[in-house]
Amino acid sequence: ADFQTVLVRWAHLDLGEYVRTLNANPVAHGGYADVFMGYSTKHMKQVAIKRIRVHLPGKSGFAKVR
């Protein structure tokens, strides 16, 4: 399946409207993602937010930012 199809299939798991990042700087990072502290208004508690980095070959404007 292509990426758009996967996103549509998992759309019910999107908590974007309920979660806010607390800090612009990540608290951790790995090879493919950065982790930020956030707050969930749905669950009324602090949460970790994993933000996947997108790498597009040949597009230096999309390089990893630290």
Instruction: Quote the mean pLDDT of the chain.
Output: 84
Q: What is the mean pLDDT of residues 52-64?
A: 64
SS (H, E, C) 21-34: ECCCCCCEECCCEE
The reported pTM is: 0.64
Q: Are 47 and 40 in contact (CB under 8 A)?
A: yes
- Residue 63 carries which DSSP code? -
